[in-house]
């Protein structure tokens, strides 16, 4: 007889662990089993610690303005130890004509920036007079139409900082559904933002933890029943229950949550004719470099480099500026990011070559009188799903599949966004839907701050 549980979650990444947390916090006795293919939880979230340096294979932080992640932190007690870097007091930079220039922190600050010519700034206001185009467009087409072509390097920087992606391929409806809804509702993005601005509170803060992002995972993973080394190979609908097959065993549950990156879920659901076989993904390597305090790392989060600057790194985080405890006393840490949708070939280079190319790149932008005294290349297994043209059709397919197949729920990397907040929010939505049997309509898309 297959082993039976009330709910089976496939995947012990942030999505699966968050779903288990929200289910247990509302219904403590629920019998949940998580099946995880690896020997560790966390998926893309993984921290690196060596010789007093603390770096990240995957995410470096998330904004504290999302109700689901705030609830999760307060219910686990993590809010008491969370480290915060407020957007209001930390500047970000963009590489512009070979040097670092401070980024405008809000759409309105764009008007004062040296990054745009006076005509370019005037053209931003063209948004007020451009009728929304309803058809699917790339982020680049959409931004150029609404704000003029001069905005594109800044759009590129924002897209590089979130998706490591290509703004000419990503779908505006996939990437910024909230901004699109605002544009359609108000007739223009700026008009919509002006309306929203009334009542807007303080700027949010980037959040991490003393042991890095993995501390969120290890905390969440202490509660639920997780079976490691259990890759799910197939799922099928039996009599009133789902059957979940690992290589070794079959499990049964009335409710199954696939908390997986889109492509992994699509493999398990291939019989249901998805409109796309897979989404493209963008691989990234983090090159962590430690320096003595002679390195003159500017104040702020870090910088991003638009493609037209022809830099080797997509950007770098000024890790010791953002959060305490990222390097030993008297040392500073920077984490440069390389690869992405446009340059997968760079990930083929050896560690030594990556370190040397990144150091050369960084020292043209930042005074670094000495070579790094510490270096590591962190190559994660996860690629960032690219919500490119055609993605909205995939999302519509997911919605109708969940309607059609009772007891099946999807959340995870690339469904409803790619950021950690998106994952925690969607996991909460799925948990609420299961517990309340609401029928689960997706909530209104939110207008997120642009996260460089």
Q: Where are the beta strands (DSSP E) in 118-178?
A: none
Which pair of structure tokens corresponds to residue 148?
Answer: 């003029």
- The single residue among 7, 33, 36, 180 that binds ligand FAD, judged by CB under 6 A, is 36
412 near ligand FAD (CB under 6 A): yes
Give 318's contacts (C-beta < 8 A, 6+ positions apart).
297, 298, 299, 300, 301, 302, 332, 334
Residue number with CB closer to ligand FAD (55 or 232): 232
> What's the min distance (Å) between Cβ of 389 and ligand FAD?
21
- The secondary structure of 14-27 as a DSSP string is HHHHHHHHHHHHHS
Site of tokens 């909230």: 178
Closest approach, Cβ 236 to ligand FAD, in A, equals 14
State the binding string over 372-411 for ligand FAD (x if CB under 6 A, else -): --------x-x-x---------------------------
Counting residues that bind ligand FAD (by CB under 6 A) gives 35
- In the three-class reduction of DSSP (H, G, I as helix; E, B as strand; rest coil), residue 111 is classed as helix
Write the interaction track for ligand FAD spanning residues 203-232; mark x where CB under 6 A is met and - where it is not. ----------------------------xx
24, two tokens: 């247990």
Residue with the shortest CB distance to ligand FAD: 13
Q: How far is the CB of 46 from ligand FAD (least distance, A)?
A: 9
What is the rounded distance in angstroms from the CA atom of residue 242 to the CA atom of residue 262? Answer: 20
Q: Does 11 bind ligand FAD (CB under 6 A)?
A: yes
Binding-site member from 115, 152, 284, 377 for ligand FAD (CB under 6 A) = 284
Interacting residue with ligand FAD among 8, 47, 55, 61 (CB under 6 A): 61
Task: State the minimum distance, in angstroms, from the CB of residue 411 to ligand FAD.
Answer: 7
Q: Which string of b and e fits 274-297 if b means at least 16 CB within 10 Å?
A: beeeebbbbbbbbbbbbbeeebeb
**CA-to-CA separations, 132 to 93, 183, 192, in angstroms, rounded:** 30, 7, 12
- The single residue among 173, 419, 429, 446 that binds ligand FAD, judged by CB under 6 A, is 419
Q: To the nearest whole angstrom, how small is the minimum distance from the Cβ of residue 12 to ligand FAD? A: 5
Figure out which of the listed residues 5, 146, 264, 326 binds ligand FAD, where binding follows CB under 6 A.
Answer: 264
> In this complex, which beta carbon is closest to ligand FAD, that of residue 137 or of residue 208?
208
User: In Å, what is the CA distance from 111 to each residue of 121, 130, 189, 267, 436?
Assistant: 6, 19, 15, 47, 47
Nearer to ligand FAD (CB atom), residue 154 or residue 430: 430
Q: Which of 259, 287, 333, 354 binds ligand FAD (CB under 6 A)?
A: 259
Angle (CA) 321-313-216 rounded to 5° is 50
Beta-strand ranges (E) seen in 281-404 are: 281-282, 284-292, 302-304, 315-317, 331-339, 374-379, 384-385
Residues across the chain: 452
Instruction: Please state whether beta strands 3-10 and 250-259 pair in parallel, antiparallel, or not at all (unpaired).
Output: parallel
Please report whether residue 274 would count as binding ligand FAD according to CB under 6 A.
Answer: no
Q: Which of 12, 87, 154, 322 binds ligand FAD (CB under 6 A)?
A: 12
163 contributes a contact to ligand FAD by CB under 6 A: no
Tokens 């403590």 found at: 28
Q: Which residues contact 341 (CB under 8 A, 6 or more apart)?
A: 163, 164, 165, 166, 169, 280, 282, 386
What residues line the site for ligand FAD (CB under 6 A)?
A: 10-16, 35-38, 43-45, 58-62, 231-232, 259-261, 264, 284, 380, 382, 384, 412-413, 418-420, 423
């Amino acid at each position: 007889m297959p082993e039976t549980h009330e709910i089976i979650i496939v995947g012990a990444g942030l999505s699966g662990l968050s779903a288990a947390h929200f289910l247990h916090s509302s219904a403590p006795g629920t019998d949940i089993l998580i099946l995880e293919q690896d020997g560790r939880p966390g998926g893309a979230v993984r921290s690196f610690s060596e010789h007093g340096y603390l770096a990240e294979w995957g995410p470096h932080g998330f904004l504290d303005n999302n109700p689901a992640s705030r609830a999760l932190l307060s219910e686990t007690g993590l809010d008491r130890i969370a480290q915060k870097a407020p957007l209001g007091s930390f500047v970000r930079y963009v590489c512009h004509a070979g040097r670092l220039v401070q980024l405008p922190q809000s759409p309105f600050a764009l008007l004062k920036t040296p990054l745009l010519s006076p005509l370019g700034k005037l053209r931003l206001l063209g948004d007020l007079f451009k009728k929304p185009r309803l058809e699917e467009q790339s982020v680049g087409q959409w931004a150029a139409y609404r704000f003029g072509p001069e905005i594109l390097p800044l759009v590129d920087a924002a897209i590089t900082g979130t998706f490591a992606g290509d703004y000419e391929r990503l779908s505006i409806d996939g990437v910024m559904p909230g901004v699109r809804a605002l544009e359609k509702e108000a007739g223009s993005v700026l008009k919509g933002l002006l309306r929203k601005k009334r009542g807007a509170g303080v700027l949010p803060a980037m959040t991490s933890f003393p042991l890095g992002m993995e501390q969120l995972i290890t905390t969440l993973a202490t509660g639920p029943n997780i079976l490691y080394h259990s890759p799910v190979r197939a799922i099928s609908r039996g009599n009133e229950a789902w059957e979940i097959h690992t290589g070794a065993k079959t499990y049964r549950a009335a409710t199954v949550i696939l908390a997986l990156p889109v492509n992994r879920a699509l493999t398990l659901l291939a019989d249901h004719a998805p409109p796309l076989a897979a989404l493209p993904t963008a691989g990234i390597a983090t090159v962590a470099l430690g320096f003595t305090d002679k390195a003159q790392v500017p104040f702020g989060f870090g910088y991003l480099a638009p493609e037209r600057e022809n830099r080797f790194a997509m950007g770098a985080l000024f890790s010791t500026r953002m959060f305490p405890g990222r390097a030993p006393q008297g040392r500073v840490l920077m984490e440069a990011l390389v690869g992405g949708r446009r340059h997968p070939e760079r990930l083929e280079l050896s560690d030594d070559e990556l370190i040397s190319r990144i150091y050369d790149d960084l020292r043209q932008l930042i005074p670094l009188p000495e070579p790094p005294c510490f270096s590591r290349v962190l190559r994660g297994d996860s690629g960032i799903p690219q919500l490119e043209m055609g993605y909205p059709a995939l999302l519509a397919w997911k919605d109708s599949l969940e309607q059609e197949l009772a007891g099946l729920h999807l959340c995870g990397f690339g469904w409803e966004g790619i950021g950690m907040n998106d994952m925690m929010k969607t996991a909460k939505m799925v948990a609420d839907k299961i517990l309340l049997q609401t029928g689960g309509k997706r909530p209104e898309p939110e207008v997120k701050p642009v996260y460089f």
